[in-house]
Amino acid sequence: MARDTRLALLAAAQKSFAARGYGGTSVRQLARAAGIKESSLYNHFASKQELLDAVIERAETRLAAVAERFHVSFDDAEAAAPFYARVTPAQLKALLEAFLHEWLYDADVVAARRVLTLEQYRTSLAGSRLRELTVEGPLRFQTELFRTLIGRGVFRPADPEAVALAFWGPVFAILAAAERDDAADRDAAEQTYAQAVRRIQLHLEHFIAAHLAEPPSSKE
């Protein structure tokens, strides 16, 4: 029962935060939506801020599940390096497509993304969480990943942060361009998704050609 109530509160918070914003949502509204008394909410969450944190953490868990499906880490560059050292272009494309699909269509991820986007100019905390999720976190991980891959000779010698920027910048732009409102029609949404997949393919082809080291056999 307690778990059901907690999930109901999370669902109410996702919906209300994404529609009204964090500041525009009251504890009373959340409790009413979950079918409980306002005072009972605090049996499950210490504050409205803790509810927001839970919404964001749930989204992060969903994105981490993408990495788990491919048996790779999104936050430990050293652990992820062996996978990326042997990954094929097709596997990398599949990984990025899976991430794209979660980013655009998973309800938990969409809710967290929208509330952080709404609140980023109202509270510094929301802005910092959004930047960590979409920019700083990925760049930090990828900088260390490319540092390792360059050191192992998998990638050509280069500044690892510059390589991370060259990889993630276009991916971030593709994700942003593919985001659509719920009111968008199905055909348009499918076309946008197909365009995003095509752009990922183009980006990977150019990135790999520019940064992947040549195999030893081709130098002989």
Predicted pLDDT at 219: 46
- H/E stretch holding 121: none
| Cβ 55 vs Cβ 14: under 8 Å | yes
Q: Is the pLDDT of residue 23 over 90?
A: no
End-to-end CA separation in angstroms for the chain: 68
How many other CB atoms are there within 10 angstroms of residue 2's CB atom? Answer: 8
Q: pTM for this structure? A: 0.83
Q: What domains are defined for the chain?
A: 1-46 (1.10.10.60), 49-211 (1.10.357.10)
Residue range 28-81, pLDDT digits in tens = 999 999 999 989 999 999 998 899 899 999 999 999 999 999 999 888 999 999
**DSSP H helical segments within the chain, as ranges?**
2-20, 27-34, 48-69, 77-86, 89-105, 107-119, 124-131, 137-151, 160-178, 186-211
Assess whether pLDDT exceeds 80 at residue 215: no
Q: Are 17 and 122 in contact (CB under 8 A)?
A: no
Q: Which two tokens stand for residue 93?
A: 């494309």
The predicted structure's pLDDT at residue 216: 61
Give the contacts of 89 (CB within 8 A, at least 6 positions apart): 204, 205, 208
DSSP 3-state assignment of 174? helix
Of 195, 31, 189, nearest to 110 by C-alpha is 189
Asked if 100 and 113 count as a contact pair (C-beta separation under 8 A), the reply is no
Burial of 123 (0-12, 13-18, 19+ CB in 10 A): middle
Per-residue pLDDT at 218 exceeds 80: no
20 has pLDDT over 90: no
Residue-level length of the chain: 220
- Which residue in the block uniquely carries the two structure tokens 């095509």? 198
